[in-house]
Structure 1
Amino acid sequence: MSRRFRGESQHKVDTKGRVSIPASFRRVLEAGDPNWKSGETPELVIVYGDHRRKYLECYTMAAIDEVDDKIDALPRGSMERKMLQRLFHGQSFPTTVDETGRLVLPIKLRQKIGLENEAFFIAAGDTFQIWKPETYDTEERAREDEWLDNLPEDFDPMAFLDASTGD
């Protein structure tokens, strides 16, 4: 099983769109890049998606290869395959981490999510997301709070894990 991204942090974005990636995230990117060698910088793919997506989703090369394999398994010419190709191939940006551990985010990607001076990073298993901090706070935290508020006060979310295995 491949390594997973874990944690969250906030980092400054400079005027050229450079932002440091959390060190632990860089280790996962290295482990998820089959072409990476010590002393080199890992590759990744940033999926920015359609107009509804308010964050950037960063995939290791192994994770995006898995997505690509699933897209390729769909019938050629099907609407599902065409749309997924557009979302994951067309609306994406292949890049590398620079030698100082930073990403350079093009202006198009920064403008899409309203990223200015700060970027919020949050782990999502085999991907991580980059958000404008205020957007994450108002939208994602509100969604999380709503979900938790609909559960009984003493409910342990770990119970969902047992349900997923049929135990």
Structure 2
Amino acid sequence: MNFTSFIGQAQTAIDGKGRTSFPRDFRRQLSAADGNEFVVTRGPDQTLRLFVLSEYEKFMADLDQRSDRRQTDLVRRGLCATFVELDGQNRILLPKILLEYAGLKDEVLYVQASGKTLELWNPDRFNAKYGLQTNEAMAAFDAAFYGEGLTEGPDGKR
């Protein structure tokens, strides 16, 4: 498989040292060029972002293109970017400061973002925001899904 974007979600445990298994499904989606080295940063909504190195370089280049230098500097300083790599047991070590920021204790939910980037969520926080646990949430999802003409709606029309 040679994906240009990650696909899927996976939940794994976090041990007492802050290590978490990098999910097998996502490891299978890595190319040889992606390697086993990543950058983890703070993300929006009290999440973490896990970038393959090439995606992190693209992100930083896009950030540098912003016209508002103050905003760019604020984001750069707030990222708390950390280099991580898979150990021999396919785990990554998440820094304590980032674990605290994202409210990650026992488990982490890996969620696809854009390209070869993942969001790392507190599972409860993710489910509260995106869990489709009410009829209103399901209706909003259906409207968003069918609203852009991505697929046929329930009536068989685009």
**TM class by smaller structure:** 0.7 to 0.9
Deviation at 1:56, TM superposition (A): 0.8
Change over 3 Å in CA distance of 1:13–1:68 after alignment to 2 = same
Match of 2:122 among 132, 147, 157: 132
Structural mapping, 1:1-167, within 5 Å: 3-31=4-32, 33=34, 36=35, 42-49=36-43, 53-74=45-66, 78-88=69-79, 91-126=80-115, 127-141=117-131, 149-150=139-140, 156=146, 159-160=149-150
Is this contact kept in 2: 1:14–1:117, CA < 8 A? yes
Matched residue SS, 1:58: strand
User: Does structure 1 retain, via aligned residues, the 8 Å contact 2:18–2:99?
Assistant: yes
Q: Percent of aligned positions with the same letter in both sequences? A: 24
TM-score (norm 2): 0.75
What is the alpha-carbon distance in structure 2 between the residues aligned to residue 67 and residue 93 of structure 1? 14
Does structure 2 retain, via aligned residues, the 8 Å contact 1:5–1:123?
Answer: yes
Q: Give secondary structure in 1 for the equivalent of 2:87.
A: coil
**Letter of the structure 2 residue corresponding to residue 78 of structure 1:** R
- SS of the residue corresponding to residue 100 of structure 1 reads coil
Superposed displacement of residue 3, structure 1: 2.0
Partner of 1:95, secondary structure, is strand
SS in 2 for 1:159: coil
Helix, strand or coil at the partner of 1:4: coil
RMSD value, Cα: 3.1
Q: What is the deviation of 1:104?
A: 1.0
- Number of residue-to-residue matches in the alignment: 148
C-alpha separation in 2, matches of 1:56 and 1:144: 26
- The Cα shift of 1:141 comes to 2.6
Change (3 A) 1:150 1:45: same
Task: Give the superposition deviation at 1:87.
Answer: 3.8
**Structure 2 unaligned blocks of 5 or more:** 152-158
SS of residue in 1 equivalent to 2:75: helix
Instruction: Write out per-residue CA displacement over residues 53-77 of structure 1, whole angstroms, 9 at most, x where no aligned residue.
Output: 32111111111111111233346x8
TM-score w.r.t. length of structure 1 = 0.71
- 1:164 aligned partner: none
Tell me how far 1:157 sits from its aligned partner: 5.1
Given residue 105 of structure 2, which amino acid in structure 1 is its aligned partner? E
| Structure 1 letter corresponding to 2:71 | E
Q: Deviations over 1:70-108 (max 9, x none)?
A: 233346x822332232244xx222211212111111222
Question: Could you say what secondary structure the match of 2:146 adopts?
Answer: coil
